[in-house]
Amino acid sequence: MLLVDAGNTRVKWAIAHADAAPGEWTAHGAVVHAELDGLKDAWAGHGVTRALVSNVAGTAIRERLAALLPLSQPEWFGARPELAGLRNRYRNPSQLGADRFAAALGARTLAPGQALVVATCGTATTVDGVTAGGDFVGGMILPGLGLMLSSLARGTAQLPDTSAQEALPPTFADNTLDAIRAGCVAAQAGAIERAFAALPAALCIVSGGAAGHVAPALSVPYRMLDNIVLVGLHAAAIASTTP
């Protein structure tokens, strides 16, 4: 089967055998939107008989993906009231983003019976809570680290544009570039820590392209997991075929 996570900046994908456990893939990759056309060759030759797609990147990306997928009838994944033991407590369950529901499902699949704070650090950062009993209780959405950094340069007269770096800047930075990085990283980490404080004894799972920059700033225990949305899609695919 082919699993696809189409986000705001990149499209992540994985190939799995029908009997594989969630996260056990024979191939996987990621491309930015400008490189989507290369996916057709990447997906060829794998004998795909099923495709499950989460798309939060809008109608245009959906149409481009539909033209590239090796199947004419893909399954477009969306949040639902309940799936595989995860109950969606959003006020309107269908309004929950497909990626957030899939990430929560992936986290619960890898850590069953555990209260969870699931932080996905991408173009946007989402921080969601799941109780030990399997209730998705909701969460937060905030600008991702890259958006925070670039917005200061666009919206101010004298602050320079900068990007994240591997080394975590000090809390009290002694130069402007590090002060910008320190503030934006602290804002990301603070949202995650606030969620952790509201859900006692939770396991904090951090994923996404900016996770490597945000996670080291956390003052709470955490576990980094790559491609948590794809893990959730894999779990959803298994759940929908299990008798």
- Catalytic site residues? 99
Backbone angles phi, psi at 104, to 5 degrees: -65, -40
- Paired sense of beta strands 135-143 and 86-88, if any: parallel
Of 141, 106, 104, which is closest to residue 125 (Cα–Cα)? Answer: 141
| 41 annotated ligand-binding residue | no
| 90 annotated ligand-binding residue | yes
| 178 annotated ligand-binding residue | no
Query: Locate tokens 């595989």: which residue?
Result: 84
DSSP lists the bridge partners of residue 14 as 3, 28
| 182 annotated ligand-binding residue | no
Residues 6+ positions from 62 with CB-CB distance below 8 Å: 6, 55, 76
| 19 annotated ligand-binding residue | no
DSSP letter (8 states) at residue 160: P
| 6 annotated ligand-binding residue | yes
| 11 annotated ligand-binding residue | yes
Indicate the annotated binding residues for substrate. Answer: 90, 97-100, 176
Indicate the annotated binding residues. Answer: 5-12, 90, 97-100, 123, 176
Indicate the annotated binding residues for ATP. Answer: 5-12, 123
